[in-house]
Amino acid sequence: MTSFDDRKDAYENKFAHDAELQFKADARCNKMLGEWAAALLGKTGAEATDYIRTVVTADFEEAGHEDVYRKLAGDLDGKADETTIRAKMAECMAEARRQVLAES
């Protein structure tokens, strides 16, 4: 192989690795958000677990995090405003990235 091919393969591998880490961080962030929202809604046990799953799967509706925001905003109407939800989303994403990077 040429050095160009080696560099191309290295970039492709790095891209795949970074995408995998981002996916893991997104899923972990959504799980944390689901736990937070479940607590605000007074859900516990199996009910909380089911709710957390709905928050995680809400992220598959479209690219980006707006689908998760809409889910949380609709569910937490009157319990948390937009600023609170978005701040919690940012906080959870920072923590999720920290955890995923620490594990890799």
- Could you give the CA distance from residue 52 to residue 13 in angstroms, rounded to a whole number? 32
Using 50 as the pLDDT threshold, list the residues of the chain that sit under it: none
pLDDT at 1 (0 to 100): 58
Residue 47 CB neighbour total at 10 angstroms: 12
Query: What was the pLDDT predicted at 13?
Result: 78
CA distance linking residue 20 with residue 103, whole number of Å:
13
Go through the domains of the chain in sequence order and give each one's CATH number: 3-103 (1.10.790.20)
Q: What pTM was computed for the model?
A: 0.84
How is residue 38 written in tokens? 């479940």
